Amino acid sequence: MSRTINVDKIINVLSELSVEANTVLRKDVLGALKKSLQDETDKRARRILEAIIQNARLAKKEKIAICQDTGMPVVFVELGRQVRIVGGELSAAINKGIEKGYRKGYLRRSIVKDPLKRTGPSGFSPAVAHIKTTGGNRLRLTLMAKGFGSENVTTLVMLRPTDGPAEIIKTVVKTVQQKGANACPPLVLGLGIGGTAEKALELSKLALIRPLNRRNPEPHLAGLEKAVLKEVNRLKLGPMGLGGRTTALAVNILSYPTHIAGLPLGISLSCHALRSAARTL
């Protein structure tokens, strides 16, 4: 059965998600931090993890931002074919909702309108929106607040088609070793494998949304997630790059069919404040 959804509903929901994502740390992320604290043996690393967990608790209680960098909003839209948007245009509604939420939550203006001129006042939008058509009559909105400490270390590597899991592990470990300390660890790693260059990077960002306690349903990819996590934590960069067992909390992988001549690998890192929130209409 077809449904109509007014853009006002979308604006209000994205306003709420903007505040929620920035002030309430995801339960799976908080759970992973608590488990890491139990497993961590380095005293300084334990103190850092305790401070991170306390910071998340205070942010939720006081309804203030988990981090001063409230990120560039990234919105993943799953639009059912039987949904008709009325009252306005979807992209405009997305940006209006984010503007409303960021103002309401007293969140930082972080977006410059021109990446080179960088003049004039900063703002809250536009968001980067990924819109996917699905079956049914539902509209799902997922908002990620992507801070640029971790975004700046995003990496794309075009591997050879003959490269396999061992080369993927080696590449990811090298990336974390060289750049991970700048991304405020403990990290969450999103890996996108396959497709084209831009598809691999999109998948790597989308992988960060998946709950950290849920492995890829494909056994060979689930095994690769575990193997990458093990090797990354052997680096002992630790929380904030100051040493310890906890360099990464989780590794999430998404894959897509690719060309016979290539093996694109997208690597998206998130800091310990992996911020996203979702709602289905």
Q: What are phi and psi of 226, to 5 degrees?
A: -65, -40
Q: Could you tell me the sign of the dihedral formed by the alpha carbons of 194, 200, 204, 207, in that order?
A: negative
pLDDT digits 0-9 by tens, 221-264: 999 999 999 999 999 999 999 999 999 999 999 999 999 999 99
Partner residues linked to 141 by β-bridges: 77, 279
- Rg (C-alpha) for the chain, rounded Å, is 19
Range 156-165 average pLDDT: 97
**Cα-Cα-Cα-Cα dihedral sign, residues 221, 222, 225, 227:** negative
Q: CA nearest 263: which of 224, 231, 223, 219? A: 224
How far, in Å, CA of 107 to CA of 121, rounded? 15
How many of the other CB atoms lie within 10 Å of CB of 3?
13
Q: Where are the domains of the chain?
A: 3-23+66-146, 148-274
- The pLDDT of residue 222 is 98
For the chain, percent of residues with pLDDT exceeding 70: 99
Mean pLDDT in residue range 153-160: 98
3-state secondary structure of 152: coil
Q: How many CA atoms lie within 13 A of 250 on its CB side?
A: 25
Collapse the DSSP code of 249 into the 3-class scheme (helix H, G, I; strand E, B; otherwise coil) and give the result: strand
Phi and psi for 117 in degrees, rounded to 5? Answer: -70, -40
* Interhelix angle 7-23/90-104, nearest 10 degrees: 40
CA 59 to mean position of chain CA atoms: 19
Percent of the chain exceeding pLDDT 90 equals 96
φ/ψ of residue 247, rounded to 5: -90, -40
At 7-38, the pLDDT tens digits run 999 999 999 999 999 999 999 999 999 999 99
Q: What would the pLDDT profile of 194-217 be if each residue is shown by its tens digit?
A: 999 999 999 999 999 999 999 999
Predicted confidence at residue 94, as pLDDT, reads 98
Output phi, psi for 97, to 5 deg: -65, -40
pLDDT at 143: 98
* Burial call 63-100: b when 16+ CB within 10 Å, e when fewer: eebbbebbbbbbbbbbbbeebebeeeeeeebbbbbbbb
DSSP 241: G
Cis peptide before 126 (omega within 30 of 0): yes
> Torsions phi, psi of 2, nearest 5?
-75, 155
Query: What is the pLDDT of the chain when averaged over all its residues?
Result: 97
Please classify residue 185 by burial: count the beta carbons closer than 10 Å to its beta carbon, then call 0-12 exposed, 13-18 middle and 19+ buried.
buried
